[in-house]
Structure 1
Amino acid sequence: MNERGDRLDDGRPVRRVRAYADAAYDPDVWPANIPAVAQLLRTGLELAQGVTFLVGENGSGKSTIVEGIATAYGLPPEGGSNQGSHSTRPSESPLGEWLMVERSPSAPRWGFFLRAETMHGYYSYLEALPGSPDRHLHSLSHGESFNDLLVNKLNHPQYVAGLVCLDEPEAALSFESSLRWLANLNEIVDRGTQVLCATHSPILAALPGARILEVGEWGIRKTTWERLGIVQHWRSFLDAPGRYFRHLL
């Protein structure tokens, strides 16, 4: 393959996400009026090999972006793989309809979307499938079910994913489970999986080698773990929680 071909097919499942030239959205209407989403629509977003974390406050647009990219990739908006789809109550934004995903031809196409708030419906969908090996998920605790998905879906050798999208998986995770996720994310990345994760967790965001994008009123900006607002706030709170209580209680 020539040099130009090597650059075009660099192994990344998703090289870039950008808006269609004729995408019909109103920049003054949600979700296009969220600064981070507006920047994505205006300039696009290149996804690095490995893990990319989107970190920001509630309402900053990180989950909307992950959901939009997941659906543009062909993953069901309520979670699961691109080999199956279910829907209970559609609540996704139209962002995925506006986005075009630039893929690497040689990369695996299987993908998975873990969306913390809708996983109960996904488990019910799996439970109803004849002969499903995942009918036990409802019997597990929230955190145990997420760990089960981690081992048996995301980090199972049978499923070499192109893209894994995670929307705040820490919602179900203890400290020890978060560390377990770090180790497993590192393993699936070593096998070539690309991960996009929206998170509030300073533990997950500490994954070595990960790309960190902070989203907020400024849009999207690249940063480091040490400079993240959540890291600074957690350090300050754990060091002296009384300083916060004086203003809150």
Structure 2
Amino acid sequence: MDFDQPPVVRISVDPEVRPSARDWPMTVPAVAQLVRDGLDLPPGVTFLVGENGSGKSTIVEAVAMAYGLSPEGGSNQGRHSTRATESTLGSVLTLRRGLGSARWGFFLRAETMHGWYTFSEASDEKGRAPRYHEMSHGESFLEVLRTRFDSPGFYCLDEPEAALSFSSSLGLISVLHRVVESGGQVLCATHSPVLAAMPGATILEAGEWGLRRTSWEELGVVQHWRAYLDAPGRYLRHVLD
């Protein structure tokens, strides 16, 4: 029996509790496919890439919740909530855990990290937590990466590039590499072709087709960025006109 497995081996839904196909987020093709077919999650880093509304963030949020993490971000050792906006998907997902894998997890969600910073400081009775609110947006993200992504476990990230410069995005790739080397596993929703280029990562593209495995070169976002950087005026003429 293999006891050297990643924290999450498979994501699925019990057919008896499957939500109605007429209700959101089941109307999103990528979510409908996940609920219908399940998903084997490979070791290492898996990137979910797609346009806004394609379901990638909804899936990452739901998987984080099913793992026991707060939908607003943070670890499985503390929960906080400001306003519940999460979908019901997380409540029906079932995760098959890896035998002998670590149970630690952390959810870094760009749009709600401000609330998690407040929670972290308020629950820090000994005054040892970093003072995230005294840092710039990017600096606070980097500090979270430095202090929280430091052990084997399951890490969910939702569009972490939102706060990061180009060089800091490269630094994030280094952090994710270190996590994987230590036996951790990562599920990340992103728009960034920089992050998606990480060697050895699995890329799933979400769209009207559902979820499909693809390569970095075949990603729509990569092709659009290449075309834009080659001739930005061609794109901007349509926007400004």
Which TM-score applies when normalising by structure 2?
0.97
Give yes or no for contact 1:74–1:82 (8 Å, CA) kept in 2.
yes
Q: Secondary structure at the match of 1:226?
A: coil
- Percent identity, aligned pairs only? 60
| 1:89 corresponds to which of 64, 83, 91 | 83
The CA deviation at 1:79 is 0.2
Q: Secondary structure at the match of 2:16?
A: coil
Partner of 1:128: 122
Cα distance in 1 for residues equivalent to 2:168 and 2:130: 22
130-139 or 168-177, which deviates more:
130-139
Give yes or no for contact 2:153–2:183 (8 Å, CA) kept in 1.
yes
Which residues in structure 2 correspond to 1:155-174 (within 5 Å)?
156=150, 160-174=151-165
The CA deviation at 1:91 is 0.6
Cα distance in 2 for residues equivalent to 1:167 and 1:173: 13
Partner of 2:10: 16
Partner of 1:45: 39
Alignment RMSD, CA only? Answer: 1.0
In the comparison of the two structures, how many residue pairs are matched?
239
Cα distance in 1 for residues equivalent to 2:175 and 2:127: 24
Cα distance in 1 for residues equivalent to 2:43 and 2:173: 16
The CA deviation at 1:161 is 3.4
Which residues in structure 2 correspond to 1:129-144 (within 5 Å)?
129=123, 130-144=125-139
Cα distance in 1 for residues equivalent to 2:127 and 2:113: 16
Q: Given residue 192 of structure 1, which amino acid in structure 2 is its aligned partner?
A: G
Which residues in structure 2 correspond to 1:177-196 (within 5 Å)?
177-196=168-187
Cα distance in 2 for residues equivalent to 1:224 and 1:131: 47
Establish whether residue 153 from structure 1 lines up as the match of residue 144 from structure 2. no
Establish whether residue 116 from structure 1 lines up as the match of residue 110 from structure 2. yes
Deviations 1:68-92 (A, max 9, x none): 0000010011000000000010110
- Structure 2 unpaired stretches of 5+: none
Give yes or no for contact 2:65–2:71 (8 Å, CA) kept in 1.
yes
| 2:29 corresponds to which of 32, 35, 41 | 35
Give yes or no for contact 2:110–2:162 (8 Å, CA) kept in 1.
yes
Deviations 1:16-61 (A, max 9, x none): 0001232151111100110000000000011110000000000000
Partner of 1:61: 55
The CA deviation at 1:246 is 1.6
Establish whether residue 237 from structure 1 lines up as the match of residue 228 from structure 2. yes
The CA deviation at 1:131 is 1.7
Q: Which runs of 4+ in 1 moved over 4 A?
A: none
Q: Secondary structure at the match of 1:221?
A: strand
Q: Given residue 200 of structure 2, which amino acid in structure 1 is its aligned partner?
A: G
The CA deviation at 1:12 is 1.2
| 2:192 corresponds to which of 178, 201, 204 | 201
Cα distance in 1 for residues equivalent to 2:190 and 2:129: 26
Q: Given residue 171 of structure 1, which amino acid in structure 2 is its aligned partner?
A: A
Q: Given residue 202 of structure 2, which amino acid in structure 1 is its aligned partner?
A: R
10-19 or 42-51, which deviates more:
10-19
Counterparts in 2 of 1:171 and 1:49: CA distance versus 1, 3 Å: same
The CA deviation at 1:135 is 4.3
Cα distance in 2 for residues equivalent to 1:134 and 1:101: 31
Cα distance in 2 for residues equivalent to 1:73 and 1:110: 10
Partner of 2:209: 218
- Structure 1 unpaired stretches of 5+: none
Cα distance in 1 for residues equivalent to 2:201 and 2:39: 16
Give yes or no for contact 1:75–1:111 (8 Å, CA) kept in 2.
yes
Give yes or no for contact 1:31–1:95 (8 Å, CA) kept in 2.
yes
